[in-house]
Amino acid sequence: MEKIDNGNTKGGLQKVIPLVSDLLPQGNYSADGVVLRRRETSPKSGDCLLFLRDMGALWAGAPGPRNRFGGATEPMTWGRFILYQGPRRLYLKSVDVAEDFLSVRGSKKSLLCAARWCRELGARLPAGHENNGVLSLFWGSMTNLSKGLCSTLLDVRFAWRWGKIWGVSPSLDSCPECGSPLVTDEGAAMTEWGFLCRTCRLNASSNRYKTVSQGAMEIIKRACMSSADAFVRTEPELRAHLSASAGLEQEVGDIASRLFVFLSFTV
């Protein structure tokens, strides 16, 4: 994020200012980011929830008719946002669009996945606090989604790696009850504390956990724990495994939903 100097600073931009508050000093600002949500407040104005580098998630007023900004204030639109912090609130002045991910909008499955990410981010990000790691993860996930990578695999990876950035994702290597290594061939059981090993699963009440099959556990580990490059390389193989077993894609999708719950208590 850069504060725009209306004075004589060369280029009109000052150094990046770190922020920990949702209240900015009055003035003009420029930041890269994405629109997470738009809501109409009147026929002639609306509000946009922006997720910005160095600034985090912030609501900004978008005065004027909707066509003033064209598609630049639609959710999932990335670019550089020019903002003005007035005495009472933040306003959007203009947007230099970098990517609108039209290919994602053209696929129902991909669109539903991206819309879920926008919804989860909008609900869980603390206002006005820098979350650059999550922003970069979101960009990479949207880019892979636009390239046609499997939305189910991307969804579970996004949920787990977001939690990893915040330090709340359950371990995929060890049991939270006893610390024993999780053996993929034995499957696992997912609770509100993480994935239980076979021994702890047998000692737990069945209404405390959701059984995770061997196939799902293997896919989740490989999709979530691999590097970005390794994930892209192995995605075709993981996608084939999902398609080969009836119900496996639904199981992995259900686990992704449960992983988002691990982010809840941080808000």
Q: What is the pLDDT of residues 100-138, one digit of tens each?
A: 999 999 899 999 999 999 999 999 999 889 999 999 999
Residue ranges, comma separated, of all CATH 2.40.50.140 domains in the chain are 1-148
Q: What is the mean pLDDT of residues 54-79?
A: 83
84 phi and psi angles, rounded to 5 deg: -130, 125
Residue position matching structure tokens 């005495």: 87
Q: Kindly tell me if the per-residue pLDDT of 31 is higher than 80.
A: yes
Q: Kindly tell me if the per-residue pLDDT of 264 is higher than 70.
A: yes
Q: What is the pLDDT of residue 166?
A: 96
Confidence (pTM)? 0.87
CATH number of 1-148: 2.40.50.140
Q: What is the mean pLDDT of residues 140-166?
A: 97
Which residues, in sequence order, are CB contacts of 87 under 8 Å at separation 6+?
Answer: 26
Q: What is the pLDDT of residue 21?
A: 36
Q: How confident is the model at residue 19 (pLDDT cuts 50, 70, 90)?
A: very low
Instruction: With CA atoms as reference, report the closest residue to 204 among 230, 186, 178, 182.
Output: 178
Q: What is the pLDDT of residue 10?
A: 38
Q: How does the average pLDDT of the chain come out, rounded?
A: 86
Provide the H-helix boundaries in the chain. 102-105, 108-124, 132-146, 151-166, 198-203, 214-225, 228-244, 248-261
Q: Kindly tell me if the per-residue pLDDT of 266 is higher than 80.
A: no
Q: Kindly tell me if the per-residue pLDDT of 205 is higher than 90.
A: no
The DSSP call for residue 91 is E
Give the residue with greater pLDDT, 208 vs 183: 183
Q: Kindly tell me if the per-residue pLDDT of 24 is higher than 60.
A: yes
Q: How confident is the model at residue 175 (pLDDT cuts 50, 70, 90)?
A: very high
